[in-house]
Each structure stands twice: as structure tokens, then as C-alpha cells.
Amino acid sequence: MRAFTVERYGDKAGVRVGDVPDPEVGAEDVLVRIHAASINPLDRMIRDGEMKAILPYKVPFVLGNDLAGVVVEVGAAVTRFAVGDEIFARPDKDRIGTFAELIAVHQDDAAIKPATLTMEEAASLPLVALTSWQVLVERAHIQPGQKVLIHAGSGGLGTIAIQLAKELGAHVATTTSTANVDLVKRLGADVVVDYKKQAFETALHDYDVVLDSLGGETLKKSLDVLKPGGKVISVAGPPDAAFARELGANPIIRLVMSALSFRIRRSARRRNVTYSFLFMKASGDQLRELTHLIEAGRIRPVVDTVFPFESTREALEYVEAGRAKAGKVVVKMT
């Protein structure tokens, strides 16, 4: 099959489109002919070796973390799907590889594609929709009336997180550029901070939760907008010991991750708020929950651009250069 592979870490030239063996199908796997996959910042981080301590993929490997496609084979123990089903999924972190013609996915990690969406729209959702769910529902336990700040509201994660937070009854603020103020308002944001004109940390206060997808100085400043007892949950900040325990990491890695997040955790404690890091998990059950909202029109995908499969490298560079105006960039199989 044709696939987009990483031949060596840390080099844009170390990726290529070529032929690789078809995936093996386990007893509880479905083999999916991929129709579309989407680009995530995680793909660049994996390609550049920034995630090697957490995700030590052995080169060469196929890149890609989101997909929509059609089931063409089922394992002997599969009960959830049949050949011909249209599905979407974020494969488990140990089984990535959606920039390819085929992938084998465990049945528990996939869900029937929302009937209202095209393949390209469906492929844009799994990673960002699951991240939004796991931050806002599982980790933050958002309740109606709570105040939530979602950074980078026009990005792939932000566009979905705003809609889910509003569905949960939250009062939502977001940050974005001037060009996307109207877009994030249409998605449901109650307060929009144009970061080119205003500093969010002076404009906002007494928030219950911050979803941080930017890290760095933005993460540090986010502590100042929280009320006592508030939470900042980051998908871009330093990992913490709790995450290391989730990974089943050895004591040395746990110590390293604890040290990486020491400063931000200390700053949070001084303000009587909490910091935690989240790395989303694959979940077909959560995708099914989200499908109800999607088919009801409560959450809608935002797709910026669709590239052909042979231009996957260009699609990655397009995202990396910050050229996407809003939402996700998708790769379409021909």
C-alpha cells in the first residue's frame, strides 16, 4: 500500500511517500480503507522527535493520527463493525499511521461515521473532539454557568472545544486574531479577546477552567485569569507525574516529567489553582457520544483546506507555517 512514512527524526526531508506492507489484522481489529486523514500539530512533533520520550516509534513508521474510511475486513472477534461500514477514528497512540491507504484499528477505538458528514469533515474530528471531551467532560467536569477560557479558538481544537463547552452550558471566552473574531462568535464564544489588540490576562478574570493549547508564556499567564480553586488543563505544556503514571513510565521518567512541570505547578499552588497535563486517549465510546451532538447539529467541523494524499508533506508544511486560517487541514485519498 501507499503510505507517508518518517524515515528519520527531526528532518522534513526524512519523510516520503512510498510503498509499505499492508497492515496485519488482529482478532479485534478492523481493516479500514482510508478516504481522508487530517493534520494535527502532534504529527509535526512526532516527525521532529519531540515526543520520543513519550512515544518512542521505531523508524521507519507511518505518520498520522486521524481518519475516516470504510471497513474492508474484520477480525474474527470483531462484534461492533461489518465490512462496508463507514467509520472514523483516532487510533491508539501505539498504532498510529493514518497517512496511508489502509490501517488496522482496534474495534474499541472506532465509531460509525456521523451520517451528516463527508469523509473529509469526519476525518477532521477524532483527535480534537476527543481532546475536547476529555478536557471539558472527564477532567474539568464542566457545569452549566461555569466560565471557561479556550485558547486559540479558531484552531482545530479550539473550534470544537468552544462548541462542546457551550453545549455543556458554560460561559465561554476565547482568544483569536482579528480575522477570526466573527468565526469564533458564530461557534458560540461569549467573549472574544483579539490577541493583536488586547492581553487576555488583563481582560479576563475569575474563570473556572482554562484549556491551554499553546504552552509557554500563554500557559503561565493563564494562571492569572483563574479564580481560587480553578484549573488550567494543558495539551501543550510540560507533562506531569500523573501523566507519567498513566503511561506506566519507570521511576526515572516519572521524576523527569515531575521536574519539567515543577515551576508551573508551583506557580499554580501559589495562586490556589491547579495545573495538569492531558494527552488524549483513543475512545470509540466517546466518539459515539460526540456523534449524537454532531448529527443533531450541535457540533460542526471546521475544515480549512483539503490536500491530495501525494501532497501530505506540503499539507504538514502548510500547517507548520501557520497558513491555515481556521479549523483543520485534511488529506484526501484519491
Distance (Å, whole) CA 15 – CA 9? 9
Q: 2-124+301-332 with 127-277: one CATH topology?
A: no
Distance (Å, whole) CA 5 – CA 312? 10
Burial class (CB in 10 A: 0-12, 13-18, 19+), 50: middle
Question: Please, what is the average pLDDT of the chain?
Answer: 96
Q: What is the pLDDT of residues 153-173, one digit of tens each?
A: 999 999 999 999 999 999 999
Spatial contact of 177 and 160, defined as CB atoms under 8 Å apart: no
Chosen CATH of 127-277 out of 2.160.10.10, 3.40.50.2020, 3.40.50.720, 3.90.1150.10:
3.40.50.720
Q: Whats the size of the chain, residue-wise? A: 334
CATH number of the 2-124+301-332 domain: 3.90.180.10
Average pLDDT for residues 215-227, to the nearest whole number? 98
Best CA proximity match to 119, nearest among 176, 66, 185: 66
Q: pTM value?
A: 0.97
Burial class (CB in 10 A: 0-12, 13-18, 19+), 45: middle
Show me where the domains of the chain are located. Answer: 2-124+301-332, 127-277
Q: What is the pLDDT of residues 231-289, one digit of tens each?
A: 999 999 999 888 888 888 788 888 888 898 999 999 999 999 999 999 999 999 999 99
Q: What is the dihedral of CA 235, 236, 240, 243, to 10 degrees?
A: 40
